[in-house]
Structure 1
Amino acid sequence: MTALSVCVLTYNSGRLIKSVLTPLLAITDDLVVVDSGSTDDTLAICRELGITPHYAEYETHGRQMNIALRHARHAWVLCVDSDEILDPMTLAWLAHFKAAPAPDPHTAYRLSRYWFVMGKPVRTLYPVSSPDFPVRLFHRDVVRFNDRPVDDEAEGFACSKIIPGAVRHDTFYSLHEVFNKANGYTTRLVKYKTIRPSLWRGIASAIGAFFKWYLFSGAWRQGKIGVVTGSYAVIYSFLKYLKAWYAHQPDAPHPRSRLPGHGNRTGEPVTGKQQKQ
């Protein structure tokens, strides 16, 4: 038998959190929720399910996950975001994993994650293709998340395997959320990483993103959802350079302190692999 802790990050996650947590309760020996200051009904739903969330002020997704790992009681941990819903095949595999002897701690396991935007499946969402395969099940004495401001990944394992099934990553449920996440991710990127402060580079990057993530990716075939995902790629590509440029103006706030925009704190088109710069 292999005891399993499940770690979930939340922030104003009331839209999906019950659908995320309920199936996880059936396969975990220890469910850890780390919240970064929800003001909706997220916390009430967690308590309704018998879960007492921990609070941690948000800085980056990777740091938040590592905080959750410190609260976990068991060595083997499954990490999930509050917009990721595991399907029956994935849950059945996890039940089998728990019933078997513990594997080599240097082996990690990847979720098969399929991306949905505004309720529709998509083939690409800057800068990933769907499905992607982030490492999310591992031995916490071996693996930790790195500290990238976006696109954090689990590191430290020697080899990895893909878990069968299809995890639904239900991101960008409205146009407001598209702009909110683009704003939050680019703010965090400029705050924690050095980005060349060039408007011309931003314009070139945005044009390149339009061709790659709207035309060449085939997003144009998906109608209005393709327009949304293509626009996200263009906006993100330009905003990171615009914010870097603005932060380096003489009268601007210091880029490490007061850039506007917080965004959604969970599940970034992230990804073990997500947002390549």
Structure 2
Amino acid sequence: MFTLSVCLLTHNSARLLREVLPPLITVADEMVVVDSGSTDETLDICREFGITPFYHPYSMHGMQMNVAIERASHDWVLCMDSDEIMDEQTVNFILALKAGEEPAKNKAWRLPRYWYVLGEQVRTLYPVSSPDFPVRLFNRQHARFNLRPVDDQVEGHTCSEKMPGHVRHDTFYTLHEVINKLNGYTTRLVKYTRVRPSITRGFISAIGAFFKWYLFSGAWRQGRVGAVTGFYATLYSFLKYFKAWYQYPQIKAIQAEQDVDTHTHSLQK
């Protein structure tokens, strides 16, 4: 038997929060909510459920999750976003897991996450297929989130197991949300990783993404929602190279500074 801290990230999450919180509270021995400055009813809803969120400014998803993990009282943590809704089967599995013998500390569990765009379940959303199975339940003494600017992952566990059930990942609920996240993700990717600055490569990558993520994936069968996911994959693939090309002089200077800092730090060791 073991105790569990549920770590939840919020930011203007009122849309789904009343659906997200009840299953989490059912499995939690402690709720740790880290908010990055909500201006809607998010904080009021948390208080309705007896939760007092902590504030921490947002920089990257993995870093924000690690902040929540640090605030947890228990070593076993379940890390969730505020657009992920657990079903009864997943909840019952976690309750049974907690009631059994404490597992090996290097083990982790993967969430069965099904993606929804504009309220409709989709088969793919660049760069993942649905469902995907991210590690979300683990012992914080052995694992943490890495700091990749997008698509971060939990690292440090040595074995993992998929949970049963259906976790609804209700992302991109308006076209405005699609455009905003597309812009934000590609900007962070170019800022924190080395993307080759090339418009030509951008066009080639976009054409490949259109065929792979819209035509070959069967997204075209889903009408307007499929068109949105195909548009997202195509434009994402182009923008990351276009932004790298457009910002190349500034990025080159920043990366040179980072290389100098890394070299200096190594010498000091």
Length-normalised TM-score, structure 1:
0.89
2:260 maps to none
Give the AA of the match of 1:245: W
2:152 maps to 152
For residue 23 of structure 1, report the CA deviation from its aligned partner.
Answer: 1.7
Runs of 4+ aligned structure 1 residues displaced above 2 Å come to 252-256
**Partner Cα separation in structure 2 for residue 253 and residue 141 of structure 1:** 37
The answer to which of 228-237 and 190-199 deviates more is 190-199
Instruction: Decide which structure has the larger Cα Rg and report it.
Output: 2
SS in 1 for 2:237: helix
**Partner Cα separation in structure 1 for residue 213 and residue 135 of structure 2:** 24
2:208 maps to 208
Which residues in structure 2 correspond to 1:18-167 (within 5 Å)? 18-167=18-167
Question: What is the RMSD computed on CA atoms of the aligned residues?
Answer: 1.5
1:186 maps to 186
For residue 247 of structure 1, report the CA deviation from its aligned partner.
Answer: 1.0
**Partner Cα separation in structure 2 for residue 40 and residue 70 of structure 1:** 26
For residue 255 of structure 1, report the CA deviation from its aligned partner.
Answer: 6.6
**Partner Cα separation in structure 2 for residue 83 and residue 60 of structure 1:** 17
**Partner Cα separation in structure 1 for residue 173 and residue 195 of structure 2:** 29
Asked if 2 retains the 8 angstrom alpha-carbon contact of 1:109 and 1:161, the reply is yes
**Partner Cα separation in structure 2 for residue 253 and residue 156 of structure 1:** 32
Judged with a 3 Å threshold, the aligned counterparts in structure 2 of structure 1 residues 253 and 103 are, in CA distance, closer, same or farther, namely closer
Asked if 2 retains the 8 angstrom alpha-carbon contact of 1:248 and 1:255, the reply is no
- Give identity over the alignment, percent: 64
SS in 1 for 2:196: coil
Q: Which runs of 5+ in 2 are unaligned?
A: 256-269
**Partner Cα separation in structure 2 for residue 197 and residue 253 of structure 1:** 10
Give the AA of the match of 2:73: R
**Taking CA–CA contacts closer than 8 Å with sequence separation of 6 or more, which of the two structures ends up with the larger relative contact order?**
1
Give the AA of the match of 2:143: V
SS in 1 for 2:151: coil
1:272 maps to none
Asked if 2 retains the 8 angstrom alpha-carbon contact of 1:4 and 1:29, the reply is yes
Judged with a 3 Å threshold, the aligned counterparts in structure 2 of structure 1 residues 43 and 21 are, in CA distance, closer, same or farther, namely same
**Partner Cα separation in structure 2 for residue 51 and residue 184 of structure 1:** 29
1:7 maps to 7
SS in 2 for 1:26: helix
Asked if 2 retains the 8 angstrom alpha-carbon contact of 1:145 and 1:155, the reply is yes
SS in 2 for 1:80: strand
For residue 46 of structure 1, report the CA deviation from its aligned partner.
Answer: 0.8
Judged with a 3 Å threshold, the aligned counterparts in structure 2 of structure 1 residues 244 and 255 are, in CA distance, closer, same or farther, namely farther
For residue 240 of structure 1, report the CA deviation from its aligned partner.
Answer: 1.1
SS in 1 for 2:27: coil
2:267 maps to none
SS in 2 for 1:16: helix
Length-normalised TM-score, structure 2:
0.92
Judged with a 3 Å threshold, the aligned counterparts in structure 2 of structure 1 residues 20 and 140 are, in CA distance, closer, same or farther, namely same
Number of aligned residue pairs: give it. Answer: 255
**Partner Cα separation in structure 1 for residue 139 and residue 131 of structure 2:** 24
1:246 maps to 246
For residue 201 of structure 1, report the CA deviation from its aligned partner.
Answer: 1.1
